[in-house]
Structure 1
């Protein structure tokens, strides 16, 4: 037997081992695994392990009919290939989830951002997510998809100062009114605030700067009773600490600039569709959400009829983000899905340090109050323990003695904490809300919100808690 013949015989005798197909459906995996892998699909061009930055404004259509299918929403796409929504393509590369549209133009969707969107939807327990250019764009897009001129929104009073400014300035100019409920435990106050033209209830999981955690279950019950979607900003909580959809929320928004991206390097936002709100029942109860439930033109079914549990996300993407244009840069989308890979690890450190620092600050004679709901002394500790396992993030308020003069002395004495706006960074930060984020508020509103002259907002980063305490002690010595 020749050498060639023996080699051929050996090759024929070797069993063919087909490698296992990579996982693409991560639904049954743990949070920690999903934050690393969800949204990723095998790259068929060069085997890239890390999803690349897709720097392209537009996308090539395979054919004339592919162009038609994409604009009609029938072409579904992921990084590995295309399929038709009607299943007419037997040679598809990947099995795709309903409602993931093939890209047309990067104002509407981008492959890099799609990774971050699917990952965040998985972590929050939603059906789909839409990435946008900032947290304010996320709030605006989420609400513009269900409210228009002449409509009304009800919000809890304690929310981020920038959101109150957004509601009181831009939303007011657009003819959308916002009223506030000051006592979220008072059903009668909710009932008085909600009108026939109310389109949503809005709140936050952990409002800053006061860390006054929200009882989502109670507010969700109010929303359900009035057939309204509950929109929750989970920027400070993050899905690593609390997932609002599990507590009755319909929609979740994020400023991804903060903890999700995590390093203060990229601005972004996102809207997550919970897929749980009964839009048909709301219509029957007299609420109107035409972008979701109405046929856009004769002969074409509504988004709800066509896309079911992802219909709201499609309305946000097609009728708001595509039209107005607050699209996310793919570079920032790349930083976002990279940041989420370590979310639970970072949040564990953020929270552990915050608990240690808040408890220490509570014992210092120069400190009047510490607003951290994870402390047993806080009036909302029971809710914090029930819904957050006592882990109420790393953004909280501390009031030093001496009013604004004490605050000035304290802030100027810090050397490790950065004096800057922003939260959720790896670096610790401090700001004086009354003279910055809440400077435009009337004295009456600021006082009612607890924004006093001596109040400071701390955002605890990933530095050593002992080093941060030493920095705080040095600053308190100046008060």
Structure 2
């Protein structure tokens, strides 16, 4: 039997949640059901499953037994009523928002001004092509969100820990604004993971993940997930949410609220419309890789987090560093929220600014030996990136300034290596920066 959400500690649930014993071969690990399709027992079963009146697996594009275990596990860890897995974190954000935007011309989102660059691309380019308007606001100031709300606002979007500056939002305050405006709150919990933070407990309605990162933890498989907290009342304003409240031929002449009585109409829309139509499918093999990663989630994240603070403290005292953006450091703007909402720490992805000319960034990064220059985070290995040239390169200069990203900003993702080795690696590269600065001053 799958474990109920409240029966065990997270460290137990991350291993067992969603994993029923295989009735055939009695495998201990979750089998990889590497099949595109599934045989129906008879014609009537096939008819009912395609009519979505009977549960079952029809085609791996919309559901697979291996993927289903991952969905149940992530939902359990986040405290949701269910989840839908996708082929990447980017696709998870996309389908999560598409399901909220619905039909009609008036589509507006309020989003944090401190987001991952790929998410900004989605909001300001691909969704903008379809008439979606976005206002970007400070995630630490709930009043800014209240001022940005419009009658056509369909969602608030923010990150539990901002990428790349580790900005911490005032989620409880933002959630209060959202409830007053009757707007659902979507939180990307990738950088924190449920080992450090559970947004649904702080007022979020929907959680998204790039499971590629800390849930998987080894940089070997792309995956995403959308989790519904089951807290938003779609029926309170029927005209505002026609995708849930109006009958449609696609749902057999019913509304999703009627069709999904006792289940999540939101997740049904995500899976049966957007994942089905757009094919944002997670493969069974990748689901298996992420499942294996979740089994050690809390152990890995604790080590990542402790090592990151050690590295941040070293950087804060180095003369080649102008500023370190880490909420665990005294005086950081996020220190108060960190103490209030993040008792287990604020993760291992943060940034710092070099006290050097822009031209020093390349030689510094190239001088690192243990840190790998890649466009990823949440790996066992320590990683480095230059946001202005890489992950946030398509943002306008104004957007980068609002996000606090300078040409000298360097992002780190601290891995599981010995922290003293990481400090030594950063130290030798930073000493080279000091030499460069000294030469330029002569």
Normalised-by-shorter TM-score class: over 0.9
Provide closer, same or farther for how the CA distance between residues 104 and 23 of structure 1 changes in structure 2, counting only shifts above 3 A: closer
- Provide the C-alpha distance between the structure 2 equivalents of 1:125 and 1:24, rounded to a whole number of angstroms: 12
Map 1:335-350 to 2 at 5 A: 335-350=289-304
1:124-203 matches, within 5 Å, as 124-148=78-102, 150=105, 151-182=107-138, 184-187=140-143, 189-203=144-158
Q: Is 2:244 aligned against 1:289?
A: no
Which whole-Å deviations, capped at 9, do the CAs of 1:260-314 have from their partners, x for residues lacking one?
Answer: 111001111110011111111143xx5x223322222386432222324422111
Secondary structure of 1:314's aligned partner: helix
**Conserved in 2, the CA contact under 8 Å of 1:291 and 1:319?**
no
Q: After superposition, where does 1:248-287 map in structure 2 within 5 Å? A: 248-283=203-238
Match in the other structure for 2:258? 305
- Which runs of structure 2 are paired with 1:435-446 in the superposition (5 Å)? 435-446=389-400
Question: Counterpart of 1:83?
Answer: none
- Deviation track 1:305-350 (CA, whole Å, cap 9, x = no partner) reads 2324422111100011011111001110111111111110100000
Provide the secondary structure at the position in 2 that maps to 1:370. strand
Cα distance in 1 for residues equivalent to 2:392 and 2:25: 50
CA RMSD of aligned residues (A): 1.6
- Are the counterparts in 1 of residues 139 and 169 from structure 2 also a CA contact under 8 Å? no
Shift of 1:241: 0.4
State the distance in 2 between where 1:163 and 1:241 align: 22
Q: Distance in 1 between matches of 2:274 and 2:241?
A: 14
Q: State the match for 2:40 in structure 1.
A: 61
- Rounded to whole Å, the distance in 2 between the matches of 1:393 and 1:413 is 25
What is the aligned partner in structure 2 of residue 464 from structure 1?
418
Normalised by the length of structure 1, the TM-score is 0.87
Secondary structure at 1:373 match in 2: coil
Conservation of the 8 A alpha-carbon contact between 2:71 and 2:83: yes
Matched, 1:37 2:5: no
Shift of 1:439: 1.9
| 1:435 partner SS | coil
Structure 2 residue runs without a partner (length 5+): 434-442
1:389 matches 2:343: yes
Name the SS for the 1:477 alignment partner: helix
Please identify, of 316-325 and 404-413, the stretch whose mean Cα deviation from structure 2 is larger: 404-413
Q: For each residue in 1:122-155, what CA deviation from the matched residue of structure 2 results, as whole angstroms up to 9, or x when unmatched?
A: 0000011100011110010001112146211111
Q: Give the number of the structure whose alpha-carbon radius of gyration is greater.
A: 1
Distance in 2, matches of 1:216 and 1:293, equals 28
- 2:344 and 2:70 map into 1 onto residues whose CA distance is 28
Q: Which of 234, 252, 270 is the aligned partner of 2:189? A: 234
Residue 159 of structure 2: aligned partner: 204
Give 1:165 shift: 1.1
CA contact (8 A) 1:108 1:317 kept: yes
Which runs of at least 4 in structure 1 moved beyond 4 Å after TM superposition? Answer: none
Question: CA deviation digits over 1:28-72, x for unaligned, max 9?
Answer: 111111100001111112111111111111111112221233223
1:90 maps to: none
Higher mean C-alpha displacement, 427-436 vs 446-455 = 446-455
Change (3 A) 1:186 1:214: closer
The answer (yes or no) to whether the contact 1:228–1:282 under 8 Å persists in 2 is: no
Residue 244 in 1 paired to residue 196 in 2? Answer: no
Paired residues, number: 429
Rounded Cα–Cα distance in structure 2 between residues aligned with 1:158 and 1:403: 24
Change (3 A) 1:186 1:273: closer
SS at 1:146 equivalent: helix
Match of 1:359 in 2: 313
| Cα distance in structure 2, aligned partners of 1:296 and 1:110 | 26
TM-score, with structure 2 as normaliser:
0.94
SS at match of 2:411: strand
Q: Could you say which residue in structure 1 is the equivalent of 2:440? A: none
- Whether the 8 Å CA contact 1:132–1:268 is kept in 2: the answer is yes
Q: SS in structure 1 opposite 2:111?
A: strand
**Partner Cα distance (1:349, 1:184) in 2:** 27
Trace 1:417-428 onto structure 2 (pairs within 5 A).
417-428=371-382
| Distance in 1 between residues matched to 2:2 and 2:155, nearest whole Å | 37
1:393-404 → structure 2 map (5 Å cutoff): 393-404=347-358
Matched residue SS, 1:68: helix
Match of 1:145, SS state, is helix
> 1:184 offset after TM fit, Å?
4.4
CA deviations on 1:431-462 (whole Å, 9 max, x unpaired) are 11111122222222222221112110000001
Residues 258 and 141 of structure 1, relative CA distance in 2, 3 Å threshold: same
